[in-house]
């Protein structure tokens, strides 16, 4: 059995390059090819963790990001910058990320959505009300306040079916080369953390995108990703004990422990020169 996610990722990239509509994005000044309604699902328990091996993606980046989210922080200086500067582009003069996902989940709307989710599913595991919202309709998008960034994964749902916790991530816009691989891995990690906290097994991770796009400077990189063959084994790992509680406490050693669990299995293919670390906000 090989890494199932790599093939699903290649299929999405192929669909965009072959069937996507090309247009100029006014905000970025760059062309993209895009499709709407892109989606995939993967069974974490049976098919493995959705982390691409087609090229190297920094592990600590998305692990630390997810721990930072769970903690509810919104300043990169508060834990996150030790591991990655990915959110530094989106800070205000006070070094605050006003749209920090975890802050939105835990504090912004006047209730701790993530904490209430855990309590709710503990009391009623069969509930279908496990919805977490990141998008703030009072200020995000449309004619609201101009910001450096607004949430891309803007909502997710969690439900438990037959003793397995499933997570459906709903994304308004995904840069399929730079953003997508880290988003998928990060939210699948969140799914595993919630499953451990609730004493159930991780189930199906689903990812739905309203606008899945590739920037024109990444077309050739996407073609190279599609051409690559992989026989990498699926990635399976068990989380350290009490991961949810340790993430809430911003335990730095937790990032390194999870990194080690993944790193010993992760044998990615070489970098692609045309894909750089410089991100374009979506």
Question: 8-65: per-residue pLDDT in tens?
Answer: 999 999 999 999 999 998 888 899 999 999 999 999 999 999 999 999 999 999 999 9
- pLDDT-above-90 percentage for the chain: 90
**pTM for the full model?**
0.96
The two structure tokens encoding residue 124: 């009623």
- The whole-angstrom separation of Cα 51 and Cα 99 is 25
Q: Looking at the domain assignment, is residue 209 inside a domain?
A: yes
Residue closest to 156 by CA, chosen among 172, 166, 167 = 167
Q: Quote the pLDDT of residue 157.
A: 98
- The whole-angstrom separation of Cα 262 and Cα 130 is 28
3-state secondary structure at position 7: helix
267 neighbors 210 (Cβ within 8 angstroms)? no
4 neighbors 53 (Cβ within 8 angstroms)? no
pLDDT band at 150 (very low <50, low <70, confident <90, very high): very high
3-state secondary structure at position 25: strand
Q: Per this entry, what is the length of the chain?
A: 282
What is the mean predicted confidence (pLDDT) over 112-119?
98
Q: Looking at the domain assignment, is residue 166 inside a domain?
A: yes
pLDDT at 277 over 70: no
- The whole-angstrom separation of Cα 214 and Cα 211 is 10
pLDDT at 282 over 50: no
pLDDT band at 148 (very low <50, low <70, confident <90, very high): confident
For the chain, the C-alpha Rg in angstroms (whole number) is 18
- The whole-angstrom separation of Cα 266 and Cα 273 is 20
The two structure tokens encoding residue 101: 């996902």
Supply the mean pLDDT for the chain. Answer: 95
The CA distances from residue 32 to 15, 23, 215, 217, 262, in Å, are: 14, 6, 4, 9, 33
3-state secondary structure at position 274: coil
What is the mean predicted confidence (pLDDT) over 264-280?
81
Q: Quote the pLDDT of residue 146.
A: 76
Q: Quote the pLDDT of residue 27.
A: 80
Range of the domain at 167: 4-59+106-237
- The whole-angstrom separation of Cα 146 and Cα 240 is 40
3-state secondary structure at position 42: strand
Q: Quote the pLDDT of residue 1.
A: 82
Q: Looking at the domain assignment, is residue 20 inside a domain?
A: yes
Q: Quote the pLDDT of residue 131.
A: 98
Q: Quote the pLDDT of residue 280.
A: 43
Q: Looking at the domain assignment, is residue 169 inside a domain?
A: yes
What is the mean predicted confidence (pLDDT) over 121-127?
98
Q: Looking at the domain assignment, is residue 273 inside a domain?
A: no
CATH number of the domain to which 146 belongs: 3.30.572.10
- pLDDT-above-70 percentage for the chain: 97
What is the mean predicted confidence (pLDDT) over 97-103?
96
Interacting residues of 196 by C-beta distance below 8 A, sequence separation 6+: 239, 243, 244
Q: Quote the pLDDT of residue 281.
A: 41
Q: Which residue has the tokens 């990690």?
A: 189
Q: Quote the pLDDT of residue 279.
A: 41
Q: Looking at the domain assignment, is residue 29 inside a domain?
A: yes
Q: Looking at the domain assignment, is residue 83 inside a domain?
A: no
pLDDT in tens, 210-258: 999 999 999 999 999 999 999 999 999 999 999 999 999 999 999 999 9
What is the mean predicted confidence (pLDDT) over 80-105?
95
As for how many domains the chain has, the answer is 1
Q: Looking at the domain assignment, is residue 45 inside a domain?
A: yes
pLDDT in tens, 167-222: 999 999 999 999 999 999 999 999 999 999 999 999 999 999 999 999 999 999 99
């Amino acid at each position: 059995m090989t890494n199932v996610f790599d093939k699903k990722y290649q299929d999405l990239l192929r669909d965009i390059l072959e069937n996507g509509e090309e247009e100029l994005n006014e905000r970025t000044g760059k062309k993209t090819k895009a499709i709407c309604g892109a989606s995939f699902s993967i069974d974490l328990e049976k098919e493995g963790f959705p982390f691409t091996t087609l090229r190297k993606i920094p592990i600590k980046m998305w692990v630390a990001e997810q721990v930072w989210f769970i903690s509810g922080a919104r300043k990169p200086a508060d834990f996150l910058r030790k591991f990655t500067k990915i959110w530094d582009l989106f800070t205000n003069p006070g070094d605050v990320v006003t749209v920090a996902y975890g802050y939105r989940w835990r504090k912004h709307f006047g209730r701790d959505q993530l904490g209430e989710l855990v309590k709710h599913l503990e009391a009623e595991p069969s509930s279908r009300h496990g919805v977490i919202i990141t998008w703030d309709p009072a200020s995000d998008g449309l004619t609201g306040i101009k910001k450096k960034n607004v949430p891309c994964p803007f909502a997710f749902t969690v439900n438990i079916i037959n003793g397995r916790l499933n997570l459906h991530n709903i994304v308004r816009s995904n840069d399929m080369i730079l953003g997508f691989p880290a988003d998928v891995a990060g939210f699948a990690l969140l799914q595993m953390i919630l499953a451990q906290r609730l004493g159930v097994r991780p189930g199906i991770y689903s990812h739905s995108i309203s606008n899945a796009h590739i920037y024109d400077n990444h077309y050739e990189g996407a073609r190279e990703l599609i051409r690559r063959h992989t026989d990498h084994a699926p990635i399976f790992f068990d989380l350290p004990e009490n991961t949810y509680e340790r993430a809430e406490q911003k335990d730095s050693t937790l990032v390194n422990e999870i990194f080690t669990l993944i790193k010993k299995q992760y044998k990615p293919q070489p970098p692609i020169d045309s894909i750089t670390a410089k991100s374009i906000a979506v």
